[in-house]
Structure 1
Amino acid sequence: MPAILSRSLAIGLIACFIGSGDARASAIVADAAPAASLADGRVGAVAFESVTPRQIMDFVKRAPSDKAVVTGRLSLPTQAKGPLPAVVILHGSSGVNRGEWMWARRMNALGYASFVVDSFSGRRIAQTERDQTRLSMAADIADAFAALRLLATHPAIDSRRIAVMGFSRGGVAALYSALEPFRKAVIDDGLRFSAHIAFYPSCGIHYASEHLDGAPILMLLGGKDDYTPAAPCVAYADGLQAKGARVTVKTYPDAYHGFDRFTSPHAVPDATSARLCHGEYDLDTGRFTMAGGDGVVSGEAARLAAQACLSRGVTLGGDPEGRAQSPALVADFLKSAFAGER
């Protein structure tokens, strides 16, 4: 494996992994050239520029990265009276599928604009379920902030009230975009997300910083999730709260990964999970550490540990309680978060 990918491999594994449990993915195709602004008020499919970082600290330090053109679909609620709040929606490792569109419709029904981002198609990636190293998680985070910057130019959208919501891999980006080093890697001014909603993200190997954006965070977890277990995310949330962050955690005790979807729980034998991994990437220092039987290791030993702790075989599928209750919880959370930005 090329050395340039080694650190991306270790951290890319935190994405784990399939974001939905919905089997059918659909690309978002935009015919026009990439848009630097939405000042013309357009809606529908939009192409926009982002970057594809290969190493985390290169991204944080704004080192040159491969350019990328990604797409998204912007939808405004019926009879919208702006400026409106908006929600950026990030998909999991299977790409954009029915679950993301379901949540986009829910956001529109609440009176919010929705912007579903397709991080894969523009990079000619169909899915990363079996190989997360195909795309660094920094790319998803870069796309989230590129989408934020773009939406802030739309005349119908209130730039102070743009939230981000993601699922599994997208949940990782939604969660860790609360860390200031990531925001400052893309955003030059005070623009920030007004709320972060992460459905079943991976927290075993996590990003850390002493500097947060101050926006509230909602984490929705599955108590039986054997793909991205709840316990490390609860511990991560406790750490954020100790730093003064406003974090709400909801765990559905009988729920598996993808609990908000309508598929029945089923086994996926070849899916790779980092459920046995415990590590941290400190964005303030650039130090990557892993915990194991020999204590805490860093550098090359940490990279090797991040590969050795992987396992295969997970369960995906919906949970009646999580599926029924999560929309109202998200709606209440966003109502409060957006009210605080008026």
Structure 2
Amino acid sequence: MLPRTGFWRAVFNAFCLLIALLPDTVHAQAARMEVIPFESLTLTDQEFLTGREEGKPVTIAGELRLPRVGNERFPLVVLLHGACGACGLVLDWERDFLAMGVATFVIDSFTSRGIANTNDDPSRLGQLAQTEDAYRALALLVKHPRIDPTRVMLMGFSRGGHSTLYASLTRFQRMHAAASEAHFAAYVAFYPSCNFRYRDDDDLTAQPVRVFMGTADNYTPIGACRDYVDRLKAKGKDVHLIEYQGAGHTFDARAYNPPRVLPQALTTRNCQVEEADHGQFVNAKTKQPFSYNDPCVERGTTLAYNEAAATQVRKDMAEFVAMTLKPTRSP
């Protein structure tokens, strides 16, 4: 194992190599890039749900990009990747936000934990571990001299979308973010799984929540999110589900054109999971402890780019960012 300084030197070199391979458009729009390590915990779902901060300490890294030089403070989008890690999908959105005059911070929740991806084995990392990472990153970033602490949005994709969506729960913030006075200004979840029901999951913060999904998603089908959003709206919450007809999972990712079939990827699309006593997940139908060996868990999913949906969602996101973060474009 590398000593700590050696490890982070290797991480930094890897990031530099990645930057060298990125398209010129990303280079042109990022006036400054910083690799920022921060302390987090690798929590099991039971530890997270019971409010215990007793997991394994881990130092993870995030990549901060600023759109312009100078001294101004920028709005920021914190990005949580999906099962593929910090892949091209996240980098595409970095470019778009930088063009809007918005800084980005991509959290790599996998590398320091020894994970490449979780498509074939989601149990390698707790369902809500990235929520813990997001809270801890926010507490650090609001102190950055180039970031406006009142204009920080959380955005995630797939499993990162799940962590983003439920990061808005008042209960989770009270248990895991109470030490920090920082709050996200908005939450944006792309194709999250909504079939995990948590206690008090209709008690959200006042900040707006948006969910973007395709109607043909066979990885995290839209039905459960429709039900959850309807339940939240009945409580008067500022939550909206924006649907894209005929679009599948990762419909905004150019890398999945043509579509990519993952025959071994696990999906809980036919499961209903709920939180029981002592932070345990149970199968809602059988009331037995849930695991990825349950009969409801299946293999086989499809990742597919949809040009019409991708074009529209970027327009929809640009409007939402303008409304919530109010960025200033360069002269």
**Structure 1, 228-237 or 330-339: larger mean CA deviation:** 330-339
Task: Return the alpha-carbon distance in structure 1 between the equivalents of residues 118 and 263 of structure 2.
Answer: 15
Higher RCO (CA 8 Å, separation ≥ 6 residues): 1
Of 302, 310, 317 in structure 2, the residue corresponding to residue 330 of structure 1 is: 317
Native 8 Å contact 1:261 1:318 kept in 2? yes
The equivalent residue for 1:280 is 274
Computed over aligned residues only, the root mean square deviation of the Cα atoms, in angstroms, reads 2.3
Matched, 1:173 2:163: yes
Native 8 Å contact 1:205 1:279 kept in 2? yes
Matched, 1:254 2:246: yes
Q: Deviations over 1:281-328 (max 9, x none)?
A: 279x84645333xxxx43xx1426982210111111101111111111
Could you list the runs of 5+ residues in structure 1 that have no partner in the other structure?
A: 1-27, 32-41
Native 8 Å contact 1:91 1:167 kept in 2? yes
Task: Return the alpha-carbon distance in structure 1 between the equivalents of residues 199 and 49 of structure 2.
Answer: 15
1:1-342 equivalences in 2 (<5 Å): 29-30=11-12, 43-58=33-48, 60-79=50-69, 82-187=72-177, 188-209=179-200, 210-262=202-254, 263=256, 264-281=258-275, 286=279, 288-292=281-285, 297-298=286-287, 301-303=288-290, 307-339=294-326
Task: Return the alpha-carbon distance in structure 2 between the equivalents of residues 124 and 288 of structure 1.
Answer: 25
Residue type of the alignment partner of 1:314 = T
Q: Relative to structure 1, is the Cα distance of residues 200 and 208 closer, same or farther in structure 2, using a 3 angstrom cutoff?
A: farther
Q: What count of residue pairs does the alignment treat as equivalent? A: 296
How far off its partner does 1:138 sit?
2.3
How far off its partner does 1:102 sit?
1.1
How far off its partner does 1:184 sit?
2.6
Q: Relative to structure 1, is the Cα distance of residues 309 and 80 closer, same or farther in structure 2, using a 3 angstrom cutoff?
A: farther
Native 8 Å contact 1:59 1:65 kept in 2? no
Native 8 Å contact 1:179 1:208 kept in 2? no
Native 8 Å contact 1:58 1:64 kept in 2? no
Q: Relative to structure 1, is the Cα distance of residues 124 and 304 closer, same or farther in structure 2, using a 3 angstrom cutoff?
A: closer
How far off its partner does 1:336 sit?
1.5
Task: Return the alpha-carbon distance in structure 1 between the equivalents of residues 80 and 70 of structure 2.
Answer: 23
- Describe the SS at the equivalent of 2:119: coil
Task: Return the alpha-carbon distance in structure 2 between the equivalents of residues 305 and 168 of structure 1.
Answer: 17
* TM-score with structure 1 setting the length: 0.80
Could you list the runs of 5+ residues in structure 2 that have no partner in the other structure?
A: 1-9, 14-31, 327-331
Native 8 Å contact 1:227 1:273 kept in 2? yes
How far off its partner does 1:182 sit?
2.0
* TM-score with structure 2 setting the length: 0.83
Q: Relative to structure 1, is the Cα distance of residues 82 and 119 closer, same or farther in structure 2, using a 3 angstrom cutoff?
A: same
Task: Return the alpha-carbon distance in structure 2 between the equivalents of residues 213 and 287 of structure 1.
Answer: 24
Native 8 Å contact 2:193 2:220 kept in 1? yes
Residue type of the alignment partner of 1:141 = T
Q: Relative to structure 1, is the Cα distance of residues 323 and 304 closer, same or farther in structure 2, using a 3 angstrom cutoff?
A: closer
Q: Relative to structure 1, is the Cα distance of residues 100 and 305 closer, same or farther in structure 2, using a 3 angstrom cutoff?
A: closer
The equivalent residue for 1:18 is none
Identity across the alignment (%): 35
